[in-house]
Amino acid sequence: MTDTVDATTADRALKDRHRAMWALGDYPYVARDLIPELGRVLVAAAGVTRGERVLDVAAGTGNAAVPAALTGAEVVASDLTPELFDAGREAAARAGVELAWEEGDAEALPYADATFDVVLSCVGVMFAPHHQRAADELVRVCRPGGRIGLVSWTPEGFVGEMFRAMRPYAPPPPAGAQPPPLWGDEQHVRELLGDRVTDVVARRQTVTVGGWESPEAWRDSWKAVYGPTIAIYRGIADDPERTAALDRDLAALARRYDRGTGSTVLEWEYLLLTARRA
């Protein structure tokens, strides 16, 4: 009993840290100005249509939820970090749509079995630490014959490489936690979903982001807006040498991927995967 209580307490503390991490910086800027097309791509690939009941898991500011609502679907945006919802509501208001915004843990969704016609997650559920738990929840709340659609950063793409570059500067992950970019590996996701789904379609695509004067300018911006990066820098703030080393590593990564002429332009690879609940 004590072990169970300890595990529950540790899991709650981990989720509290995740919630606080994603509330740092300016994730609304990332979703709105850098990767807005990802939600539209996902909604189109999942074939969301008017009247369907749709859940956007780890929705953040509604990158997929708002485009889904624009189809006429009935949409719920669920996220562990409700601090992001105000920006999402503003985005929905600008688009002229209404949807529900509800706090929820991707590993323990507060919905009954087979509630939704379509379950989506756009670079969201991949950050739940326990991948199988999260995958089980995606399947559970999707009705038989319904669809699951996911966009996830790949391990080999820019964002996956960024997390790999930051890993030596971060605290060791909790027991059982898996790296987020694994969700960008098709075989990993197929194993998570198993024979509970059919008609799996997966392809790798890229989103182009830019507007920075240099790789160093991207790095300095990212240090101010992206929660996981902010958290890692805070953890080494009292170590100037490690901070300088991480500065160098991130700038070097951006320089390696830079496709711009006169400004920094980066291509971020992601896996787009859709499946049908068996």
- Give, in order, the Cα–Cα distances in Å from 145 to each of 139, 216, 249: 11, 47, 46
Indicate the residue type of 42: L
Question: What local confidence, expressed as pLDDT, does residue 54 receive?
Answer: 99
pTM to 2 decimals?
Answer: 0.95
Class of domain 2-208+267-277: alpha beta
Instruction: List the one residue out of 115, 49, 104 whose CA is nearest residue 78.
Output: 104
Q: Tell me: the pLDDT tens digits for 236-256? A: 999 999 999 999 999 999 999
Q: Tell me: the pLDDT tens digits for 45-72? A: 999 999 999 999 999 999 999 999 999 9
Question: What local confidence, expressed as pLDDT, does residue 46 receive?
Answer: 98
Q: Which two tokens stand for residue 220?
A: 């300095």
* Matching residue, tokens 């953890």: 235
CA 96/CA 271 separation, integer angstroms: 29
Question: What local confidence, expressed as pLDDT, does residue 169 receive?
Answer: 98
Question: What local confidence, expressed as pLDDT, does residue 69 receive?
Answer: 98
Q: How crowded is residue 2: how many other Cβ atoms within 10 Å of its Cβ?
A: 6
Question: What local confidence, expressed as pLDDT, does residue 9 receive?
Answer: 78
The one-character DSSP state at 184 is G
Delimit the domains of the chain by residue range: 2-208+267-277
Can you give the three-state secondary structure of 134-174, one letter per residue?
HHHHHHHCEEEEEEEEEEEECCCCHHHHHHHHHHHHCCCCC
Question: What local confidence, expressed as pLDDT, does residue 4 receive?
Answer: 47
Indicate the residue type of 104: G
Q: How far apart are the first and last CA of the chain?
A: 36
Question: What local confidence, expressed as pLDDT, does residue 7 receive?
Answer: 57
Looking from the CA of 210 toward its CB, the CA atoms found within 13 Å total 12
Residue pair 77/133 in contact by the 8 Å Cβ criterion: no
Question: What local confidence, expressed as pLDDT, does residue 5 receive?
Answer: 45
Order the strands of the 74-79 sheet from edge to edge: 100-103, 74-79, 53-57, 116-122, 142-153, 264-277, 197-212
Residue pair 189/183 in contact by the 8 Å Cβ criterion: yes
For helices 240-257 and 227-235, angle between their N-to-C axes, nearest 10 degrees: 150
Question: What local confidence, expressed as pLDDT, does residue 1 receive?
Answer: 53
Residue pair 146/277 in contact by the 8 Å Cβ criterion: yes
For the chain (278 residues), the mean pLDDT of every run of 10, in chain order, is 58 90 96 97 98 98 98 98 98 98 98 98 98 98 98 98 98 92 98 98 98 97 98 98 98 97 97 98
CA 78/CA 61 separation, integer angstroms: 10
